[in-house]
Structure 1
């Protein structure tokens, strides 16, 4: 992951079949929201999202995945299965209140501690 100046902010190995999530605190309600990706056949694919509530800006779009209960009052949107164009997207990293973070196998890396209020590129880089 690089910022607008080309500086590497974080890099994690992501072999074929492995996955990660981008987690952040909802700006109004403060609870954690997740978008989860997987390296599938050389592509970055958005697989699923977790939304703990139907708060502002959070909703399931019919025809885009399948909404299922998380058993705790929130829901997962499963089977989104959308490839990310170019295997990369831009993110304006929020303040520590929002605390954008990468989650891989239980490890959390706070992007907000590394690049708050800056634009970064999250990219799946394939080996040469």
Structure 2
């Protein structure tokens, strides 16, 4: 039938029907999974949308954030917010650009660093460190359900009809 479509052009409607058939379309989801495979959190993350990993600095107590985007199905670290130059927090020259947040801290913008394999392991801190995932207004505390455990944070392709 495909040959007839190309040869005579008189059977265009079967070609249109083929184009309108449902196809499997992929989308991406952000997942947080324990080492045994138990899923802690799942968020749909469309192309161009993002999320942040938040935690409280273990000494100073303020919230630090690393924010990612789904860029063409890739997990990409795009920016960080560091409210202070406290222990363990610093800007690495050549990795994004540092700008003031206007409140004594700073943002590191334009990091644009793809995460190898679209996943990494995080060991959420217990208690007041409170590692959490934030997507829009939704926040899931990883520390509340898996303190000190290995948690895999991944941007994964899902299939749907």
Of 21, 38, 42 in structure 1, the residue corresponding to residue 73 of structure 2 is 42
**What TM-score results when the alignment is normalised by the length of structure 2?**
0.78
Partner of 1:80: 111
Pair 1:53-2:84 in alignment: yes
Partner of 1:111: 142
**Higher Cα radius of gyration:** 2
The alpha-carbon deviation at position 97 of structure 1 amounts to 1.2
Partner of 2:98: 67
Ranges in structure 1 where 5+ consecutive residues have no aligned partner: none
Q: Please give the alpha-carbon distance, in whole angstroms, between the structure 1 residues aligned to 2:39 and 2:128.
A: 23
**What TM-score results when the alignment is normalised by the length of structure 1?**
0.97
> 1:45 aligns to what SS in structure 2?
strand
Q: Please give the alpha-carbon distance, in whole angstroms, between the structure 2 residues aligned to 1:109 and 1:66.
A: 29
Q: Please give the alpha-carbon distance, in whole angstroms, between the structure 2 residues aligned to 1:71 and 1:107.
A: 26
Structure with greater helix share of residues: 2
> 2:40 aligns to what SS in structure 1?
coil
The number of equivalent residue pairs is: 128
Ranges in structure 2 where 5+ consecutive residues have no aligned partner: 1-31
